[in-house]
């Protein structure tokens, strides 16, 4: 049973009335959905077996040269940890068992190297925690605690805004130019670590970073996209929902729901209103969220992109399903304009301005949340288009490749690990949810690692 606080939170966040809109059609039979889920599962098997064959032990796969690469001087098993819970959820039991054992016997964080704390947190700490909850194996929690402890030095800056990088062995920190996404995307992982270990310090550090960022919002309630964590001064004043800010909003909503945190709720509501007032842009080409100056609210650009497509999912969780559906319709138009979505797109001209596609998951994630909220088959149709485009333009015999350009469809030699953690997981869940996968009490971190609210 839900606690009164959660119910109050849900009402205040305007959680969706989960009823399909009148125009919802049910043209996808359970068999068709099952067939699509199986097809995504087969693509995961292809991408994963390519990683195993050509890049085993390395952080990630280069699908064209059929080699592996590492982010830093020593590998941190990025692909394995990122992929493991997807494998489990898709029912690849034997594969998950052997990968789990390999990770648990080989992964160590005692390396003398600087790492990007944000990425290590969302991919590795998130992955370790979800795999602990899925398997019950205490060794995952031990690794997660060890990693959490090694990340803590980033929070000890003069402004209370975390540093960008930390040396995993020495705890030395560096990188002072940071941004709201890198400051505000710790609460789910650190909060879960606190709840699972009984040690409140992890939650408190992540929350302290959020509160220090909130203190630095503009008078309009907006945030810029670069800030110095030593001086606490903004060095980039562009405000938007895109890269460098995006998951900060996501963690406010999820933090409010997952931990019943009323400060997160207050911070979210202020952002939600400010974004609607200044950043949202209703145009002849549909609803978009562009770029504005954080202090004046004056529009600086009419661009959006692949990463921005996380926002309909967040709006769904916060209960604004109408705005979520309108925005997703715009992103789907962006996808169809070139047959696959670009990193950046001028929505006034309806043209790609940065034409690369990095196998991003956000538009699939939003389709998944919208389908859950509305039951409208249009989101399954979208998912089918996404899957067909991925197979047509990004599939190679060595795995899946990113695109240098969605216009020329020229490939580049990289398969980001979030393709295994997120892109294929959300596509799978879109077709399989409600049938074979139980998601009650689950909150996905920004890398799509499922964290269960067990408290
Ligand atoms: C992922 O690593 C995370 O979702 C992050 O928050 C931003 N987007 C990338 C994938 O596009």
3-state secondary structure of 72: coil
DSSP sequence for 73-113: SS---HHHHHHHHHHHHHT-HHHHHHHHHHHHHH-----SS
Over residues 415-432, the mean pLDDT reads 98
Residue of 95, 341, 344, 365 with catalytic role: 341
| Interval between CA 143 and ligand 1 midpoint (Å) | 23
What is the tens place of the pLDDT at every residue in 51-77? 999 999 999 999 999 999 999 999 999
* 359 touches 308 (CB < 8 A): no
From the CA of 278, how far away is ligand 1's center (Å)? 24
Residue 434 is predicted with a pLDDT of 59
Spell out the residues 6+ positions from residue 32 whose beta carbon is closer than 8 angstroms to its own. none
Name the helix (H) or strand (E) containing 114. Answer: strand 114-116
Distance from residue 310's CA to the centre of ligand 1 (Å)? 9
Ligand 1 pocket test target in 252, 354, 447, 448 with most atoms within 8 Å of CB: 447
Strand partners, 66: none
Query: Which of 366, 416, 422 is the best mutation target for the ligand 1 pocket, counting ligand atoms within 8 Å of the beta carbon and taking the most?
Result: 422
Any atom of ligand 1 within 6 Å of the Cβ of 446: yes
Distance CA 71, CA 65 (A): 17
Angle, vertex CA 52, rays to CA 447 and CA 44, nearest 5: 50
Residue nearest to atom 8 of ligand 1 (CA): 307
Residue 64 to residues 40, 68, 270, 411, 415, Cα–Cα distance (Å)? 21, 11, 46, 8, 9
d(CA 48, CA 9): 39
Our answer on whether the CB atom of 242 is closer than 6 Å to any ligand 1 atom is: no
pLDDT of residue 13: 57
Per-residue pLDDT tens over the stretch 79-120: 999 999 999 999 999 999 999 999 999 999 999 999 999 999
From the alpha carbon of 250, which atom of ligand 1 is closest?
6
Residue bearing the bigger pLDDT, 60 or 17: 60
> Torsion-angle region of residue 352: left (phi > 0), alpha (psi -120 to 50) or beta?
beta
Q: What is the pTM of this model?
A: 0.95
Q: Which atom of ligand 1 is nearest to the CA of 181?
A: 6
**pLDDT, mean of residues 2-7:** 48
- Residue 27's pLDDT band, with cuts at 50, 70 and 90, is confident
**pLDDT tens sequence across 336-383:** 999 999 999 999 999 999 999 999 999 999 999 999 999 999 999 999
Atom of ligand 1 nearest to the CA of 360: 11
Kindly state if the Cβ of 307 falls inside 6 Å of ligand 1: yes
Classify 383 as helix, strand or coil: helix
For residue 233, give every residue at least 6 positions away whose Cβ sits within 8 Å of its Cβ, in sequence order, or none: 227
CB hemisphere CA count around 182 (13 angstroms): 27
Please state, rounded to an integer, the average pLDDT across all residues of the chain. 94
Q: What is the mean pLDDT of residues 161-168?
A: 98
pLDDT band at 435 (very low <50, low <70, confident <90, very high): low
Q: Ligand 1 atom closest to Cα of 119? A: 2
What average pLDDT does the segment 2-24 reach?
47
Q: What is the pLDDT of residue 22?
A: 45
Q: Is the CB of 194 under 6 A from ligand 1?
A: no
Q: Whole-angstrom Cα distance, residue 286 to residue 345?
A: 14
Cα 24 to averaged position of ligand 1 atoms, centre (Å)? 30
Residue nearest to atom 1 of ligand 1 (CA): 447
Is 341 among the residues known to form the active site? yes
pLDDT tens sequence across 246-269: 999 999 999 999 999 999 999 999
* C-alpha 422 to ligand 1 mean position (Å): 8
- Bridge partners, residue 403, by sequence: 357, 411
Say whether pLDDT at 294 is over 70. Answer: yes
Q: Is the CB of 179 under 6 A from ligand 1?
A: no
Given a contact cutoff of 8 angstroms between Cβ atoms, the answer to whether 313 and 251 are in contact is no
Res. 229: pLDDT tops 90? yes
In the predicted model, is pLDDT for residue 237 greater than 80?
Answer: yes
Question: Which run of H or of E encompasses 452?
Answer: strand 450-452
Instruction: Please state the separation of Cα 193 from the chain's center in Å.
Output: 19
Which has the closest alpha carbon to 364: 25, 86, 52, 11?
86
Residue 241 CA to residue 274 CA, distance in Å, equals: 11
444: pLDDT strictly greater than 90: yes
Distance from C-alpha of 333 to C-alpha of 322, rounded to nearest angstrom: 17
Mean pLDDT within 233-256: 98
Sheet of 238-239: strands edge to edge? Answer: 238-239, 291-293, 299-301
Cα of 22 to ligand 1 centre, how many Å? 33
| Cα separation values, 191 from 89, 173, 203, 455, Å | 23, 22, 4, 11
**Shortest CA distance to 357 belongs to which of 415, 311, 313, 399?**
415
Q: What is the pLDDT of residue 426?
A: 98
Residue 208: pLDDT over 70: yes
In angstroms, how far is CA 411 from the centroid of its own chain?
A: 23
Query: Which pLDDT score, from 0 to 100, does residue 240 have?
Result: 98
**Ligand 1 near 360 CB (within 6 A):** yes
Q: What is the pLDDT of residue 171?
A: 98
Nearest to 233 by CA among 210, 263, 212, 207: 212
Alpha carbon of 189 to ligand 1 centroid (Å):
15
Tokens standing for 298?
């004056």
CB of 445 within 6 A of ligand 1: the answer is no
CA of 71 to the centre of ligand 1 (A): 16
User: Which residue CA neighbors atom 5 of ligand 1 most closely?
Assistant: 446
């Amino acid at each position: 049973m839900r606690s009164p606080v959660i119910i109050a939170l849900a009402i205040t966040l305007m959680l969706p009335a989960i009823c399909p809109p009148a125009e919802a059609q049910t043209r996808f039979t359970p068999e068709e959905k099952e067939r699509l889920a199986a097809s995504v599962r087969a693509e995961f098997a292809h991408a994963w077996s390519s990683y195993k064959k050509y890049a085993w032990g390395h952080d990630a796969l280069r699908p064209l040269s059929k080699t592996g690469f590492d982010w830093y001087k020593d590998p941190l098993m990025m692909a394995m940890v990122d992929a493991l819970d997807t494998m489990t959820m898709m029912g690849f039991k034997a594969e998950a068992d052997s990968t789990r054992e390999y990770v648990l016997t080989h992964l160590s964080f005692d390396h003398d190297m600087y790492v990007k704390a944000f990425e290590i947190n969302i991919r590795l700490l998130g992955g370790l925690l979800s795999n602990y909850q899925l398997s019950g194996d205490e060794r995952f929690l031990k690794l997660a605690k060890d990693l959490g402890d090694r990340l803590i030095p980033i929070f000890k800056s003069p402004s209370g805004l975390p540093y960008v990088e930390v040396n995993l062995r020495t705890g030395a920190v560096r990188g002072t130019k940071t941004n709201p996404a890198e400051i505000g995307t710790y609460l789910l992982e650190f909060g879960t670590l606190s709840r699972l270990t009984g040690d409140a310090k992890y939650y408190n550090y992540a929350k302290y970073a959020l509160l220090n960022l909130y203190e630095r919002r503009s008078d309009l309630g907006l945030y810029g996209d670069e800030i110095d964590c030593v001086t606490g001064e903004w060095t980039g004043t562009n405000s938007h929902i895109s890269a460098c800010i995006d998951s900060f909003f996501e963690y406010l909503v999820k933090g409010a729901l997952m931990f019943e945190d009323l400060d997160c709720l207050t911070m979210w509501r202020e952002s939600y209103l400010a974004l609607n007032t200044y950043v949202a842009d209703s145009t002849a080409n549909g609803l978009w969220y562009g770029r504005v100056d954080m202090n004046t609210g004056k529009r600086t650009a009419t661009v959006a992109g692949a990463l921005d497509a996380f926002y309909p999912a967040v709006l769904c969780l916060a209960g604004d399903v109408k705005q979520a559906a309108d925005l997703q319709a715009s992103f789907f138009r962006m996808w169809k304009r070139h047959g696959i979505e670009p990193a950046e797109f001028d929505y006034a001209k309806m043209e790609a301005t940065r034409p690369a596609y990095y196998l991003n998951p956000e538009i699939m994630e939003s389709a998944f949340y919208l389908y859950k909220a509305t039951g409208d088959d249009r989101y399954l149709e979208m998912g089918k288009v996404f899957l067909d485009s991925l197979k047509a333009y990004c599939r190679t015999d060595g795995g899946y490749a990113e695109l240098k350009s969605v216009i020329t469809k020229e490939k580049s030699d990289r398969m980001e690990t979030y393709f295994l953690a997120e892109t294929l997981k959300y596509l799978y869940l879109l077709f399989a949810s409600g049938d074979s996968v139980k998601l009650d009490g689950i909150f996905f971190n920004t890398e799509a690692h499922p964290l269960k609210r067990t408290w």
